[in-house]
């Protein structure tokens, strides 16, 4: 496992919390999205993402950009698929030493299937309770002793438990591996993903008598759609090419160079609960709610090159694994937003929440002020050094530092004005691991990360942002990892994560910012993964997270408030039991205590417990059938949100059937 250190380090020796979800787990649970997968990761909450992107809250820090593919940044806002996943790695706590900017709460790394010479012919067809189907293919083969190829593909056309919501997506991912000798490997891959879906922002809250707080979700069917489904859609086309060259010099030195070129074209548009005197909330009488609308275009090109050099050597009684290298990158793109005007005039429209679908015509235009209309260019360079030191068989140290040069310029297409900011960031990390016995480690760690002033999606620079220094994240952590038996791992950690330099709008100097915003997160996480017996497999964990606003960020987001979308308690566990070579069963439980929809603590979502189940039939090595039931007891609940009036009802009971053929 290399996510946390970029070296071949066993998880038990990594002084930071890491959760790994395997492709087998993802298949057994019939999970189809990154968000659903992370429900089984302690400390991670799935954010609604406005219905058009992956969005997570990790240890109280929201992110829609801290996603990586094979260790390289993949930061545009879109929904990633799981069809080509080998495993999903979630590192919690900042680790800029390895990943660079951002990652204040942690990062998510997709490790994709590769052409490793394994002969595989696997085809799967899916269906569920709603019209539509999904198909995947995984074909791999060694061509000769030096060459191997693999091809993964996916097509999905499905409906939803939500009225009017539809998804049409497909993807292909060919990979080739060339190994001219035992010490050199060249891996080439390309992925194209097309995603066309209805943007669904959920339902609003409702005003209470006396305007009392907290408010709760409007009581309606879990299928009720608010907005205009014909004008609410997202289209994403993603192309990612990657080349990885690895060479072992067989003298302690090894080098890995990875180059990624990616192009993203993304457009989304939505009509959703928002605007008006109640910001979209249903009035006390239950007779009116407001809708707003806008669209947004994001085009981005990424080019990254990263070189990792490792050197293993002994110095006296100590053993060292040194990592050093650098990263170069360029990102350029366009942000363009248009506000929607109903009947060409009004920024909001009133609807009856008992019939909240509106087909009133909407005209979209850039308002010339607050709507983004800018291009940007980012040039970055980084150098890093890390040393893992084995002092004795009982004691290990890790220390590292990274220097980042972050040069961002933004051009306003309306005025031609170009603004820029340069940040030079120094991010240290340190850890200590004590192993009283080989299968038990006790660790402590310290790590730092920064988020530059333009944010994680390169919003247009303003005179106020140009002079604003980066936000800073500092994580201290103490934990334990215990391999109960060789195939069963337990881990637990307590941590303290501080975020400082959050920007607060200056009420006196409009367009400028005060830099005294701060949040504090304290938490405990525990996880269990592996085989309790040869037949009983488990993946799960518990987290307690107390994420608080440390000082006033606005008139409504004040010191002492809980950070939005962060329950105090979450618990999830998936159990799979192999009754015999033919039959297996699975049972999963996901529990959230109540949580607020946003950090103003105006709307609270109730606690819920969801139970899932699976029956798996393996007829022979060729044929496998699987039935999954999500929300077995048909619990009504709200799973996530995006602010106080975009609240997402959880799915009622749904059946998913898949059949797999292997040749």
3-state SS of 457-492 is CCCCCCHHHHCCCCEEEEEEEEEEEEEEECCEEEEE
Cross-strand bridge partners of residue 603: 215
Contact assessment for residue 635 and residue 610, using Cβ atoms and an 8 Å cutoff: yes
Cα–Cα distance measured from residue 96 to residue 102, given in angstroms and rounded to the nearest whole number: 7
Average pLDDT per consecutive 10 residues, the chain (663 residues; last block may be shorter): 82 96 97 96 96 96 94 96 98 93 93 96 96 98 98 98 98 99 98 99 97 96 98 99 98 97 98 94 97 97 98 96 98 96 97 98 94 94 98 97 95 93 95 98 97 76 78 97 97 97 66 74 98 98 97 88 97 98 98 96 98 98 98 98 97 98 96
* H or E element, residue 318: strand 318-342
Cα–Cα distance measured from residue 19 to residue 334, given in angstroms and rounded to the nearest whole number: 34
Residue 10 DSSP one-character state:
-
Residue 2 lies in a domain: no
Token pair 């235009």 in the structure block, residue: 365
Contact assessment for residue 81 and residue 264, using Cβ atoms and an 8 Å cutoff: no
Nearest alpha-carbon partner for 528 in 519, 520, 518, 540:
540
Residue 460 lies in a domain: yes
Token pair 């299937």 in the structure block, residue: 113
Q: What is the pLDDT of residue 510?
A: 55
At 140, list the tokens.
């791999």
Residue 175, by phi and psi: left (phi above 0), alpha (psi -120 to 50) or beta? Answer: beta
Residue 5 lies in a domain: no
Q: Number of structural domains, the chain? A: 1
Q: What is the pLDDT of residue 105?
A: 95
Cα–Cα distance measured from residue 212 to residue 566, given in angstroms and rounded to the nearest whole number: 22
Residue 499 lies in a domain: yes
Token pair 């799935």 in the structure block, residue: 46
Residue 3 lies in a domain: no
Half-sphere exposure of 206 (CA within 13 A, CB side): 15
Q: What is the pLDDT of residue 310?
A: 97
3-state secondary structure of 27: helix
Q: What is the pLDDT of residue 453?
A: 77
CA separation (Å) from 192 to 119, 171, 236, 245? 23, 5, 10, 22
Cα–Cα distance measured from residue 61 to residue 549, given in angstroms and rounded to the nearest whole number: 12
Nearest alpha-carbon partner for 154 in 168, 134, 183, 174:
134
CATH number at residue 215: 2.40.170.20
Q: What is the pLDDT of residue 404?
A: 96
Cα–Cα distance measured from residue 448 to residue 470, given in angstroms and rounded to the nearest whole number: 12
At 264, list the tokens.
């993203």
Cα–Cα distance measured from residue 452 to residue 423, given in angstroms and rounded to the nearest whole number: 7
Q: What is the pLDDT of residue 505?
A: 63
Nearest alpha-carbon partner for 565 in 595, 593, 542:
595
Residue 4 lies in a domain: no
DSSP string spanning 137-198? Answer: EEEEEE-SSSEEEEEEEEEEEEE-SSTT-EEEEEEEEEEEEEEEETTEEEEEEEEEEEEEEE
CA torsion, ordered 640, 200, 219, 273, to nearest 10 deg? 100
What global pTM score does this model have?
0.96
CA torsion, ordered 33, 39, 43, 48, to nearest 10 deg? 60
At 517, list the tokens.
């915003």
Burial status of residue 555 (CB atoms within 10 A of its CB: 0-12, 13-18, 19 or more): exposed
State which residues form the domain around 327. 11-662
CB atoms within 10 A of CB 180: 10
Burial status of residue 621 (CB atoms within 10 A of its CB: 0-12, 13-18, 19 or more): exposed
Q: What is the pLDDT of residue 364?
A: 98
Token pair 């409504």 in the structure block, residue: 556
At 157, list the tokens.
């056309």
Contact assessment for residue 323 and residue 309, using Cβ atoms and an 8 Å cutoff: yes
Cα–Cα distance measured from residue 382 to residue 379, given in angstroms and rounded to the nearest whole number: 10
Residue 516 lies in a domain: yes
Residue 40 lies in a domain: yes
Size of the chain, expressed as the number of residues it contains: 663
């Amino acid at each position: 496992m290399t996510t946390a250190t970029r070296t071949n380090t066993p998880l038990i020796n990594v002084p930071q919390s890491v959760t790994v979800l395997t492709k087998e787990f993802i298949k057994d649970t019939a999970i189809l999205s990154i968000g659903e997968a992370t429900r089984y990761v302690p400390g991670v909450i799935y954010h609604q993402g406005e219905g058009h992107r992956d969005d997570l809250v990790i240890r109280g820090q929201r992110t829609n950009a801290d996603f990586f593919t094979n260790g390289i940044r993949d930061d545009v806002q879109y929904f990633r698929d799981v069809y080509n996943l080998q495993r999903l790695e979630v590192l919690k706590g900042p680790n800029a030493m390895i990943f660079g900017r951002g990652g204040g709460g942690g990062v998510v790394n997709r490790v994709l299937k590769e052409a490793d010479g394994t002969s595989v012919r696997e085809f799967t067809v899916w269906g569920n309770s709603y019209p539509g189907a999904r198909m995947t293919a995984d074909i791999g083969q060694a061509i000769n002793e030096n060459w191997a190829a693999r091809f993964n593909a996916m097509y999905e056309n499905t409906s939803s438990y939500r009225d009017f919501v539809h998804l049409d997506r497909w993807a292909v991912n060919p990979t080739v591996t060339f190994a001219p000798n035992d010490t050199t490997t060249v891996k080439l891959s390309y992925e194209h993903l097309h995603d066309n879906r209805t943007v669904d922002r959920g339902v609003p809250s409702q005003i209470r008598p006396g305007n009392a707080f907290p408010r709760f979700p409007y009581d309606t069917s879990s299928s009720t759609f608010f907005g205009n489904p014909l004008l609410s859609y997202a289209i994403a086309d993603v192309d990612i090419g990657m080349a990885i060259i690895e060479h072992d010099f067989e003298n302690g030195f090894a080098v890995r160079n990875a180059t990624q070129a990616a192009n993203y074209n993304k457009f989304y548009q939505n009509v959703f609960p928002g605007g008006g005197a109640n910001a979209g909330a249903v009035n006390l009488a239950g007779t009116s709610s407001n809708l707003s609308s806008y669209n947004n275009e994001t085009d981005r090109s990424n080019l990254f090159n990263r070189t990792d050099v490792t050197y293993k050597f002994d110095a006296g009684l100590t053993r060292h694994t040194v990592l050093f290298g650098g990263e170069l990158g360029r990102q350029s793109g366009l942000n363009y937003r248009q506000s929607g005007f109903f009947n060409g005039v009004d920024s909001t429209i009133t609807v009856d929440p008992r019939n909240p679908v509106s087909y009133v015509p909407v005209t979209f235009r850039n308002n010339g002020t607050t709507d983004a209309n800018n291009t940007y260019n980012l040039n970055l360079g980084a150098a890093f050094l890390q040393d893992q030191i084995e002092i004795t068989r009982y004691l290990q140290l890790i220390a590292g530092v990274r220097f980042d040069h972050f040069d961002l310029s933004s051009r306003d297409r309306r005025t031609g004005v170009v603004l820029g900011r340069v940040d030079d960031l120094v991010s240290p990390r340190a850890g200590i691991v004590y192993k009283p016995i080989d299968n038990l480690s006790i660790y402590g760690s310290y790590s730092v990360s920064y988020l530059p002033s333009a944010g994680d999606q390169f919003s247009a620079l303003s005179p106020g942002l140009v002079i604003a220094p980066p936000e800073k994240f500092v994580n201290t952590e103490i934990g334990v990892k215990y391999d109960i038996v060789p195939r069963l791992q337990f881990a637990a950690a307590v941590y303290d994560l501080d975020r400082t330099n959050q920007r607060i709008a200056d009420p006196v100097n409009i367009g400028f910012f005060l830099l005294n915003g701060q949040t504090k997160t304290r938490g405990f996480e525990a996880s269990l993964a592996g085989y309790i017996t040869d037949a009983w497999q488990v993946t799960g964990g518990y987290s307690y997270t107390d994420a608080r606003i440390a000082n006033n960020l606005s008139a409504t987001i004040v010191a002492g408030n809980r950070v939005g979308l962060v329950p105090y308690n979450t618990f999830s566990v998936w159990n799979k039991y192999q009754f015999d070579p033919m039959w297996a069963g699975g049972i999963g439980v996901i529990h959230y205590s109540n949580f607020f929809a946003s950090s103003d603590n105006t709307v609270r979502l109730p606690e819920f417990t969801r139970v899932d189940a699976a029956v798996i039939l393996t007829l022979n090595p060729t044929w496998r059938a699987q039935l999954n039931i999500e929300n077995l007891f048909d619990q009504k609940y709200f799973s996530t949100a995006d602010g106080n009036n975009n609240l997402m009802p959880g799915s009622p009971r749904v059946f998913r059937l898949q059949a797999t053929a292997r040749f």
